[in-house]
Chain A
Amino acid sequence: MDKQLQPIVKKLKKEFGAEVTEFRGDVQVLLASEKLIAASLKLRDEFDFALLSTITAVDYWPEESPRFHIVYVFNSLSKNLQLMLRVPVAGENPTIPTLTKVYKNANWRERELWDMFGIKVDGHPDLRRLLMPDDWNGHPLRKDYPLGYEEPQFTFNYEEIDLSKPHGEV
């Protein structure tokens, strides 16, 4: 582990009861979702992790608690450090607090989480689907969502397929 990272990780461990793992040089810190905002504020303000590179999730279905791990990748430009946070979330009604008040670019990343994994983001200002169409059913990156095929809609089967779409049911 990088020498500069050690005190940071120590502090996270002490204050938030975080669990630290290191794999191939990447340091990952596992902590509970209630402590996410406090931890990220500390990272941003005290340790100068100004850049939130990405937010993503991993689905461990059929495991249920925790079913998801939300992964946050932080970067410190001034110290040239990288740190990952992992937040476990249960499969039933998965919810995480929003980071949009700490990092502005969390906005789209969290919308993507909702869109792709169906993870609700508490306090998000604009939680709409981002990549999939607004009338899409399901959340594609979940493991229980099949990698299926959509039958192309031609004139001869237009109505048949249209009925299977959410807007066709009305």
Chain B
Amino acid sequence: MTTPYTIPEVTLDEIKHLVSQRAIDGETVLLNMGPQHPSTHGVLRLLLELDGETVVTCVPDIGYLHTGIEKNMESKTYIKAEVMTDRLDYLNTVGNNFAYCLAVEKMIELDVPPRAQAIRVILAELQRIASHLIWLATSALDVAAMSVFLYAFREREIILDVLELVSGQRMMTTYIRPGGLWRDVPVEFDAAVRNILDTFPKRIDEYEDLLTKNPLFLDRTMGIGKISAEEAIQWGATGSTLRGSGPDWDLRKKRPYSGYEQYDFEVPTATEGDVYARYLVRIREMREALKIIEQALNKLPLGPVSTNDHKYVPPPRSELGVSMESLIHHFKLWTEGFNVPKGSVYAAVESPRGELGVFLESDGGPKPFRIHWRTPSYNNLEAMPVMTEGLLIADLVAIIGSIDIVLGDVDR
């Protein structure tokens, strides 16, 4: 047997246009960071050109977690394709389902009952907090604040418990379905969410006590990884990465979906555009999310949680034995699936990372003809090299943490 590892030869010619002339002359060093590296937040590879410890150029190389989800979804019916959406951004599974269902509902012009809309909002905001907790944990760990990591993971577990309560799964919930929800929330839901509402403000205060005025943390984050608002927009950055630079671009406010217009909340922004600004924005976003959850829970309407158009939503189990029509609907749904009118739409939600958009094209059949995910991490990561120029490697690590990328979201 020959040697199992043949390393393809990489010549400098292939990457010559990516680095400066000093690298070709041998004045600066080319260094590979990742894809297996604890502070690249997943399988991100960076090609770094270094002058001593200073970053001259930083070239992200992605694709190590590419799983072909867009291609796979084309071969599944609309219902079956939904389970793939959870796997995109694994810290925002509810949000991915949400964007997908909004796109499908937009195509069919399916109405969602108010109760389902409110529960969707509650879960999406809970997920936002859970996702921000992971960001807080890991990005603080990157700048050597170990204890926050443990606290944030402890609290995240409480939120995942609520997701498990409603869907049976901690992470890959697939709870939001086209036309509504999988089923209504259990009676314990209200108490579980109120428990979070009671305890979380204090928890967030605790994190802030540990970090917000901590001189070590300030040294590592203030003035680091600056990006101007114009540049952030030019690079397509959205979400907290953009809002840290000034614009108050939040799809929940600008293009309300699922009843977000009923809730009173603010869109936190900062103007500095550095790592610390993005930190402040996300911390305040967690507080705003709690406000939304409280309002939605207080006026949670009663009623059905999915549309009664059984061409798209399975009929209740109790009807199958007594109604021929329900039986036919059930059979058709689980064998052929439902047909979606011919056309194409773009639906977007504000995920914890930014604009999560779905471009969906249908040929009139039961499977998506083409589905494209506009994922926020992808564009935020593309904007990262702008922030890193002239900084140290240690700062680079803080910047990767601050843009909050999820590689499942980048590579799809």
Q: Taking beta carbons and an 8 Å cutoff, which residues of A are in contact with B?
A: 23-26, 28, 50-54, 56, 58-59, 71, 73, 77, 80, 82, 84, 103-105, 107-108, 125-126, 128-135, 140-141, 147, 155, 158-159, 162, 167
Does B370 contact A58, Cβ atoms closer than 8 Å? yes
- Cβ–Cβ < 8 Å partners of A80 in chain B: 254-255
Does B234 contact A105, Cβ atoms closer than 8 Å? yes
Check: B294 CB closer than 8 A to any chain A CB. Answer: no
Supposing A80-B254, A140-B68, A158-B4 touch, asked if A56 and B234 sit within 8 A by C-beta, the answer is no
Q: Which residue of B lies closest to A56 (CB)?
A: B372
Residue from A77, A132, A140 with most neighbouring chain B CB atoms (10 Å): A77
Q: Which of B72, B75, B346 contacts A82 (CB 8 A)?
A: B346
How many residues on chain B are close to A (CB under 8 Å)? Answer: 49
A-B residue pairs, 3 tightest by C-beta: A105-B236, A54-B374, A131-B63
Query: CA separation between A125 and B18, bound complex, in Å?
Result: 10
Query: CA separation between A169 and B234, bound complex, in Å?
Result: 43
- Cβ–Cβ < 8 Å partners of A84 in chain B: 346
B355-387: CB near A (< 8 Å → 1, else 0) gives: 101010100000001101010001100110000
- Cβ–Cβ < 8 Å partners of B17 in chain A: 125-126
Q: Taking beta carbons and an 8 Å cutoff, which residues of B are in contact with A?
A: 1-2, 4, 6, 8, 14, 17-18, 62-63, 66, 68, 70-72, 74-75, 106-107, 109, 230, 233-236, 238, 247, 249, 254-255, 343-346, 348, 355, 357, 359, 361, 369-370, 372, 374, 378-379, 382-383, 411-412
Query: CA separation between A77 and B247, bound complex, in Å?
Result: 9
Query: CA separation between A168 and B53, bound complex, in Å?
Result: 38
- Cβ–Cβ < 8 Å partners of A140 in chain B: 68, 71
Q: Which residue of A lies closest to B107 (CB)?
A: A24
Does B235 contact A58, Cβ atoms closer than 8 Å? no
Q: Which residue of B lies closest to A86 (CB)?
A: B344
Q: Which residue of A lies closest to B344 (CB)?
A: A23
- Cβ–Cβ < 8 Å partners of B1 in chain A: 155, 158-159
Supposing A56-B372, A82-B346, A158-B1 touch, asked if A147 and B63 sit within 8 A by C-beta, the answer is no
Does B379 contact A58, Cβ atoms closer than 8 Å? no
Query: CA separation between A135 and B10, bound complex, in Å?
Result: 12
Q: With A26-B345, A147-B74 given, can you name 19 additional A-B contacts, CB distance below 8 Å?
A: A23-B345, A24-B106, A25-B106, A26-B346, A50-B230, A51-B236, A54-B359, A54-B372, A59-B370, A71-B359, A80-B255, A103-B234, A105-B382, A107-B382, A126-B18, A130-B63, A131-B63, A131-B66, A134-B8
